[in-house]
Amino acid sequence: MLKVGLTGGIASGKSTVARMLEEKGAVLIDLDELAHTVQESGKPVWREIVRHFGREILRPDQTIDRCKLGAVVFAERAKLELLNRLVHPAVLAEWRKRIEEIRKTRADAVGVSDIPLLIEAGLTPMADVILLVYLSPEEQIRRLMARNGYRREEAELRLAAQMPLGEKIAHADIVIRNDGPLEETRREVCALWKELQERELRCRG
């Protein structure tokens, strides 16, 4: 099994690349989805988040309102770091379970883990290949404003809370540029898929 750590930044198109790889045959693990799972109402992580950030961040049905929580943590780095400390251990435990399940059932799989904070959290040793989806900061801001309806100041605030993509390049084995048309990205992913299959074969060999 080849373990690919897919990372990028907010609005970089990471999820688009992940879906393209899944269409090619990769087994996808989305850590954002795992984060949603561990934060479900009543679970230990949910209780800790509510204890630290208050019931104001809850919807009427007691689920966490990610927009309200985001507004709190992106305004103050210490609160964002606290949230990460509360959530990450449980997410990583779930991720390790998924990896083992795939290893047992699909020993020849190319497993792609979509991990937004792969580099920041020091998780690069857990992947055989680090894949970065890159685009310019200005394009990130433009796409984030269009996608989420943020004002420019809000988009810049969220970018400022993350490691710049330019700094992440030094940690990546492979970089997919996603500034251009979707078809251009698709062509890059097609070439990438062949390379990942070859690497997986070498892993088993």
Over the stretch 111-159, which tens digit does the pLDDT of each residue have? Answer: 999 998 899 889 999 999 999 999 999 999 999 999 999 999 999 988 9
Could you tell me which residues come within 8 angstroms of residue 155 by beta carbon, excluding any fewer than 6 positions away? 140, 141, 144, 145, 148
Q: Which residues touch 182 (CB under 8 Å, ≥6 apart)? A: 16
Q: Identify the pLDDT of residue 205.
A: 63
- 138 close to 11: Cβ distance less than 8 angstroms: no
pLDDT higher than threshold 90 for residue 202: no
Residue 74 near residue 157, CB atoms below 8 Å: yes
DSSP string, 54-123: -GGGB-TTS-B-HHHHHHHHTT-HHHHHHHHHHHHHHHHHHHHHHHHHHHHH-TT-EEEEE-TTTTTTT-
Which pLDDT score is estimated for 194? 95
Over residues 78-98, the pLDDT tens digits come to: 999 999 999 999 999 999 999
Q: Please report which helix (H) or strand (E) contains residue 203, including its range.
A: helix 182-204
The identity of residue 97, as a single letter, is K
The reported pLDDT for the residue numbered 116 is: 87
Residue 105 has pLDDT above 80, yes or no: yes
**Residue range 6-10: mean pLDDT, rounded:** 94
pLDDT 10s digits, 30-84: 999 999 999 999 999 999 999 999 999 999 999 999 999 998 998 888 999 999 9
Classified by CATH at the fold level, domain 2-204 comes out as Rossmann fold (3.40.50)
pTM over 0.85: yes
pLDDT given at position 156: 92
Q: Answer whether residue 177 shows pLDDT above 80.
A: yes
